[in-house]
Amino acid sequence: MGGHAREILKGGANVLGIDWDEEAVRALPDPAVKVVVGNYADIKRIAEENDFVPVDGIILDLGLSMWQIRESGRGFSYEKDDELLDMRLSNLLSITASDIVNSYSLEELYEIFSKYSEEVNSWPIIRSLDRFRRMKRIMTVGELKEAIRIVTKSDATLARVFQALRMKVNHELENIRSAIINSYEILIPGGRLAVITFHPTEDRLIKRLIREQGYKGVRTRRIRAPQSFERSAQLRVITKNI
């Protein structure tokens, strides 16, 4: 509910925001935007309940907010060594990143890392995690980093592993699929759905959905990214058939 909403409001549009993170919603400074706590996978139901259908346009921003990265204390960033490995976007979720790292089998961890991060060092990292967790439960960002650093010093690898865990904890690919299908249903003919992605797996899912559902979709050039964490952002725009 940051820059996107402010720019849309300047044009005189009505905006309904949806965020799964109740704490993030409470931290929002802008009272001009109505924000509902909910999963964007349920966008159709939420829009109908708030008398917000049909709609001219929808933006799905699949990234984290700066508040979540810097202030939430849930272990989203590999730079926050003392934070607990939580990574849940909603307190309705029961399984944390720490639960996954400590309880999942080696094969299950490999499936997560290969599916969500495409990390080439997945097996060496998993074996290192297994050695660490046999000695002590991995609870914090720093402890997870220590296990990974045995294998590689690469910050890019850290970012991919943390991203994979976050995506698994929050069922992100499943939610993205539901969000796109439900968003399309509430658009007016000619209405547009803009999806901002930050990971090739997300972008491939959207491309596959466009093909499967027969949507009219285009990928723009890479988004201009003033912040380093945004430099992988890509934009796909889906237009509802008239």
At 59 the three-state DSSP class reads: strand
For the chain, what is the mean pLDDT?
Answer: 91
Query: Buried b / exposed e across 168-201, counting CB within 10 Å, b at 16+?
Result: bbbebbebbbbbbbbbbebbeeebbbbbbbbbeb
Which pLDDT belongs to residue 1?
53
At 30 the three-state DSSP class reads: coil
Share of the chain above pLDDT 90, in %: 78
Of the two residues 112 and 3, the one the predictor is more confident about is 112
- Say if residues 178 and 205 touch (Cβ distance below 8 Å): no
What fold is seen in the domain 3-65+173-239?
A: Rossmann fold (3.40.50)
What's the 3-state SS for 112-142?
HHHHHCCCCCHHHHHHHHHHHHHHCCCCEHH
Average pLDDT (191-219) is 90
| pLDDT at residue 31 tops 70 | no
Average pLDDT (21-47) is 90
What's the 3-state SS for 147-191?
HHHCCCCCHHHHHHHHHHHHHHHCCHHHHHHHHHHHHHHHEEEEE
- Say if residues 55 and 43 touch (Cβ distance below 8 Å): no
Angle (nearest 5°) at CA 204 between 182 and 234: 85
- For the segment(s) 94-169, the CATH number from 3.20.20.120, 1.10.150.170, 3.40.630.180, 3.30.70.2200 is 1.10.150.170
For the chain, the domains span 3-65+173-239, 94-169
- Residues 212, 229: Cα–Cα separation, whole Å: 31
3-65+173-239 and 94-169 have identical folds: no
For the four alpha carbons of 132, 136, 138 and 140, in that order, the dihedral sign comes to: negative
Which pLDDT belongs to residue 151?
98
- Residues 77, 75: Cα–Cα separation, whole Å: 6
At 78 the three-state DSSP class reads: coil
| pLDDT at residue 223 tops 60 | no
| pLDDT at residue 17 tops 60 | yes
- Say if residues 183 and 58 touch (Cβ distance below 8 Å): yes
Which pLDDT belongs to residue 4?
72
Amino acid 133 reads R
Which pLDDT belongs to residue 226?
43
Whether the bond into 226 is cis, omega within 30 of 0 = no
